[in-house]
Amino acid sequence: MDKIQYVGEALWIGYLCKAFILGGFVTSVLSLFSYTYASFGPTQSSINWKKLGLVSFGIHAALILSLLGLMFYAMTHQHYEYSYVFDHVSGELPMKYILSAFWEGQEGSFLLWMFWNLVIGTVLIRINDEFNVEVMAVLLLSQAWLNSMLLGIYLPFGEEIKIGSNPMMLIREVTAAPIFNNADYLSLIQGRGLNPLLQNYWMTIHPPFIFAAFALTVVPFGYAFAALKKRSFEAWLTPALPWALFGTAVLGISLIMGSLWAYEALSFGGYWAWDPVENTSLVPWIILVGGIHTNLIAKATGRGIKSTLLFYLGGFLMIIYSTLLTRSGILGDTSAHAFTEMGLEWQLTFFVITFLLLGLGFFIPNYSKIPSPAKEEAIYSREFWMYVGSLVLFFSALLINASSSLPVFNTIIRAFDPSYIGRVIKDPIEHYNKYQLWISVFIGLFSGAAVWLSFRGIQKPNKALGLRLVAYGILSIAFTWLTTLWITLPDWHHVLMAATAWFTIISNAHYLLDAAIKNTKALGTAIAHFGFGIMAIGILASALNFSYLSNPFVFRGLFGGEGDEEKYIQLIKNKSLLVKDYVVTYTHDTLIGKTRHYDIEFKQLAGDSASGTTFVDSFVTRPNAVYSNDFSKVAAFNPDTRHYAGKDIFTCVVSLPAQVADAEQAKQMEDSLKYQSHSIAIGDSLTLGESTIWVDGINFPPKYPEYVKNRHDVGFEVAYHVKSSEGGIESGSCAIGLDGNILYKYAGKHENLGWRIRPAEALMDQLLTPENDLVYSQLKLKRGESIDWQGYKITIRGFETQADTFRYKAEKGDVAIMGLIDFEKNGSAQTAKPIFVLRGNAPMSIKDYLPIDGLHIRLSHIDPSTGIFELRVAKDIRTQQSVIPLEIATEVPRSDYIVLEAKIFPGINLYWLGSILMMVGLLIAWWVRFKENKQWTSV
Amino acid sequence: MNKTTILALLMIVAAAVIFMNASKDVSTYSNFSEAVSSGSRVKVVGVLAKEKPMEYKPEQNPNVFKFYMKDNKGEERQVILAKAKPQDFERTEQIVVTGSMKGSDFYADEILVKCPSKYKEEEITLRKSS
């Protein structure tokens, strides 16, 4: 077969991108080796190696930035010949989502991660401390691995092995489709665009934060590695700490953002679901928090260096482990997060193994050389309780990780025993909550007490301290009792969690006022621990005590036990429903772009029945449904939440009538309707089942909205009113329109009756006589003259040379004259506007129709010399005018309802406040440690 | 014994207790006949029996959706789910329900549906003719 010469492909982009990717990989490896060699010995050659490492890093950075720029160019210019552009961009995608589209795919998100590595590498080079060479080597090792994920090289070893996935492959290279036999295929295709679920601002801001955090966590790993490599176990503790604090804060902020995203914009129905994807991002955060605590201990007392090393090595290891889990498809159906597989699971596994071996390979041989004081710490020393707290954190991470890794264990066991049946957690949320509750109890207790103790136990415990802790204890019991007045704490576990949370809140609030104001180092500590307690109370309030606004009248007892709770309510448009103390009404829906917004009105009744129907509060929420890019069905529901200081009211549509949610179902339903013919005289009624229709008359022209929009040659509207079994009377109309030879019917919809009413075709025949059957009379008269015809007084009022009606579209060269002809009868006048056209010497007559009287009027000739108009006039033969043939479908399923999930989350703001305060505490601590470090501030 | 050793021992004991306990939270994917014989709460994996009727009548109860599911052994049961009908349910490839048997029906309160991948098999969209 001949090679096809494709039209319009910008192949240079692909060649350049592939060169940048390959060049980026080569230079990152070169820089990695240079820094590695530089770390051996303080000789002159080491300095040269470091220079080479620096230069190759610079070239690498330039190549990757060029790659980013060029890929952006391809995406903004819609070069669909490239698979990545095709998969993520479409002509309809607003420019504001172009960044989201860029990192929607795995390759783009790897590039985002690499971008942050470049930024961090540049900062590290500027700082250039004694560990610089080793930290850079580790950073470049991760960079080279990430870069390898983009290579797209196939190795022909038996089965084809793929190294990396190149985003800038041509679409025709990766997809086989007959369309590529067409040299001009580019003009025929359009991109898939961004998944509608991801078209919101969270997708723009969340990924940069999370990948910045991923990149930042490599630095503590790098310092830990540097310490082991140089066998310098103490000096690294000072520069590593601020990096760990900053990275942990950014990772925490990303977690909060993800939580907000899930809560505010996705239909998960909450802010944390213990989904494996969430868990594997939380685990490194917990581990790094543990590391920060042991790092502080080690700086102050020289203890816990081994733990610090392990925590920092483990933090980044868990980051890349989470990358492996979320991107390899191994999680299968245990996760709600949809990640497309790239076939890179082995490469990702080796990425993890490399760092695991690197960490352990340097830790184990050096284990005995790592200093640790022989003397035991005092039980009343701060470091003892901080250390125990770190162990608790380690435990927490271990538990979450073990449970989230079940699919990994299953896969590993199945590799040895293919018959092994994989294990799953029956009820994940319950499982995680059950154990993490205890973590919270210990953290609350230790963080509340430890802040008042001193390092090395210099200050011996005294009576004042004891009394103070007892006072906090009593206060926290009192606050816990107050809490139970507000929310339900179902058992003693939860009471204990609340009490320990209050303990740390009270203790740290006091610490904040007492000590931290004078001591900036203590400020971050106090705020972070205070925030932890607040967050724990917020979780107890919102996650344990949320309730559904649901209809208590729906029959119960079906499920018996937990499943018995009514969750959702059906809301019929404009029919109010009383749920708990709210009157809820679905009032409107509006389609904007691909999103249908539903207005749900809530009116809160005054608590006591004595005040009658007075409302103490009213508000509207607007949850929405997003249609897929091709509009064929609803792709996602997005919630809307009403916020109060003390609670949130969360609303989300969970179900729509099938015919609204899905175009195919709508067509099926339309086809399945059984219309029955009925003839009803004007003024008469017809009863079908328990409902009745009265026909009121015929209207010209129809006012039916869809009819008005489409505008037909001729049309009639039937006006009627109906009464349902409940007694409500609705007036309505249906219409029929003729366009050329095509008849259009517009049905009247009556959801309360389950009726669809439309005119029968016979109505058109009955009212409009076909052209061939019309008997035209020929009339000749001058402008201003009148003539009598069948009781009408016909007058030529004049004419216009600018013919303008919807029946006539002017073409170039046309000579058109539109007559203005008055028809008067019984004192009422109508004006007909027939048109006479000369198109290339061929005369044409475009008739006008007066529907009320059924008059057809043509202008067949105008004699310019005499000024005589030749008219042809005919009248419809209207028999049986008073009997209207209608078609009525009954038992039509409703399409005017939504099924709504409405939840009340009490105290959710405490959760947000607490978690944000934790990050604020971390950032303050980072700032203090950053300022402390002279070497840095001089940069 | 120093404190570190005591702590380490405590931790190991705690870990052992927790892991013993946590193993109760874990199960394999089950099928209907096992659900009948055990009577306990299980996860059943299967496919939608497309020829059998589905029933979701929000006007009566928006919290109940009934459908028939065929488990991995080919056994078919009615599932009564305490949730709204999931979007695009007709097109699901795989269903996992969590619940227990009651009489001849499976009462579930959790469901996970796996839909055909939106990206892999999708055909190349043609540019609109205009």
Determine what percent of chain A is predicted with pLDDT higher than 90. Answer: 49
> Looking at the complex, does the CB of residue A493 fall below 8 Å from at least one CB of chain B?
no
Beta-sheet pairing, B42-48 with B55-56: unpaired
Q: Are A537 and A440 in contact (CB under 8 A)?
A: no
Contacts of residue A103, defined as CB under 8 A and 6 or more positions apart, other chains included, come to A109, A111, A112, A207, A208, A211
Nearest C-alpha of chain B: how many angstroms from A682? 35
Nearest to B84 among A336, A424, A899 (CB): A899
> Looking at the complex, does the CB of residue A374 fall below 8 Å from at least one CB of chain B?
no
Contacts of residue B53, defined as CB under 8 A and 6 or more positions apart, other chains included, come to B68
Residue A839, judged by CB atoms within 10 A of its CB (0-12, 13-18, 19+), counts as middle
**Do A333 and B18 count as a contact with CB atoms less than 8 A apart?**
no
Q: Give A834's DSSP letter.
A: -
Nearest C-alpha of chain B: how many angstroms from A756? 19
Q: pLDDT by residue (tens digit) across A702-756?
A: 888 878 777 777 888 899 999 887 778 888 899 988 887 788 888 888 888 889 9
Q: Which of B5-14, B32-41, B109-118 has the lowest mean pLDDT?
A: B109-118
Q: How many helices (H) and strands (E) does chain B have?
A: 2, 7
pLDDT of residue A815: 81
Q: Span A116-138, mean pLDDT?
A: 95
Angle at A468 between CA A462 and CA A470, to 5 degrees: 105
Beta-sheet pairing, B55-56 with B76-81: unpaired
What per-residue string of b and e applies to A231-240 under the rule 16 or more CB within 10 Å gives b?
Answer: eebeebbbbb
Cα A937 from Cα A765, distance rounded (Å): 91
CA distances from A299 to A316, A369, A384 (A): 21, 18, 14
Nearest C-alpha of chain A: how many angstroms from B49? 18
Q: pLDDT by residue (tens digit) across A392-449?
A: 999 999 999 999 999 899 889 988 988 888 888 888 888 999 999 999 999 999 999 9
pLDDT of residue A90: 86
Residue A839 pLDDT > 90: no
Nearest to A425 among B2, B25, B117 (CB): B25
> Looking at the complex, does the CB of residue A555 fall below 8 Å from at least one CB of chain B?
yes
The angle that helices A218-230 and A345-366 make with each other, rounded to 10 degrees, is: 40
Residues of A in contact with B99 (CB under 8 A): 563
Nearest to A633 among B15, B88, B102 (CB): B88
Q: Span B80-96, mean pLDDT?
A: 85
> Looking at the complex, does the CB of residue A175 fall below 8 Å from at least one CB of chain B?
yes
Q: What are phi and psi of A165, to 5 degrees?
A: -130, 115
Two tokens at A706? 């869809």
Cα A713 from Cα A696, distance rounded (Å): 24
- Residue whose structure tokens are 């199945």: A414
- Edge-to-edge strand ranges of the sheet holding A729-739: A685-688, A691-699, A714-723, A729-739, A742-746
Q: Span A60-73, mean pLDDT?
A: 97
- Residue whose structure tokens are 């404009």: A574
> Looking at the complex, does the CB of residue A391 fall below 8 Å from at least one CB of chain B?
yes
| β-bridge partners, B42 | B99
Two tokens at A59? 């070239």
Cα four-point dihedral sign A90, A93, A96, A100: negative
Cα A674 from Cα A694, distance rounded (Å): 21
> Looking at the complex, does the CB of residue A562 fall below 8 Å from at least one CB of chain B?
yes
Residues of A in contact with B28 (CB under 8 A): 421-424
Residues of B in contact with A565 (CB under 8 A): 82
Minimal-distance CA residue of chain A relative to B94: A333
pLDDT of residue A768: 83
Cα A656 from Cα B16, distance rounded (Å): 48
> Looking at the complex, does the CB of residue A195 fall below 8 Å from at least one CB of chain B?
yes
Nearest to B107 among A171, A563, A570 (CB): A563
Side-chain half-sphere exposure of A830, counting CA atoms within 13 A: 17
Two tokens at A15? 């060649």
Among A754, A704, A706, residue whose Cα is nearest residue A733: A704
Nearest to A568 among B15, B62, B124 (CB): B62
Residue B103, judged by CB atoms within 10 A of its CB (0-12, 13-18, 19+), counts as exposed
Minimal-distance CA residue of chain A relative to B12: A395
Output A626 or A534, whichever has higher pLDDT. Answer: A534
**Do B61 and A179 count as a contact with CB atoms less than 8 A apart?**
no
CA distances from A593 to A94, A99, A477, A597, A658 (A): 12, 20, 54, 10, 20
Please provide the average confidence, as pLDDT, over all residues in chain A. 88
Residue A306 pLDDT > 70: yes
**DSSP state string for A30-69:** HHHHHHHHHTS-SSHHHHHHHHHHHHHHHHHHHHHHHHHH
Side-chain half-sphere exposure of A579, counting CA atoms within 13 A: 24
Residues of A in contact with B46 (CB under 8 A): none
Beta-sheet pairing, B76-81 with B105-114: parallel
**Do B84 and A655 count as a contact with CB atoms less than 8 A apart?**
yes
> Looking at the complex, does the CB of residue A427 fall below 8 Å from at least one CB of chain B?
yes
Q: Span A73-82, mean pLDDT?
A: 93
Nearest to A426 among B11, B27, B122 (CB): B27
Q: Which of A29-38, A162-171, A215-224, A698-707 has the lowest mean pLDDT?
A: A698-707
For residues B116, B119, B121 and B127, what is the CA-based torsion angle, rounded to 10 degrees? 130
Q: Span A477-483, mean pLDDT?
A: 97
CA distances from A752 to A690, A726, A888, B124 (A): 12, 9, 14, 43
pTM, two decimals, is 0.85
Output A631 or A571, whichever has higher pLDDT. Answer: A571
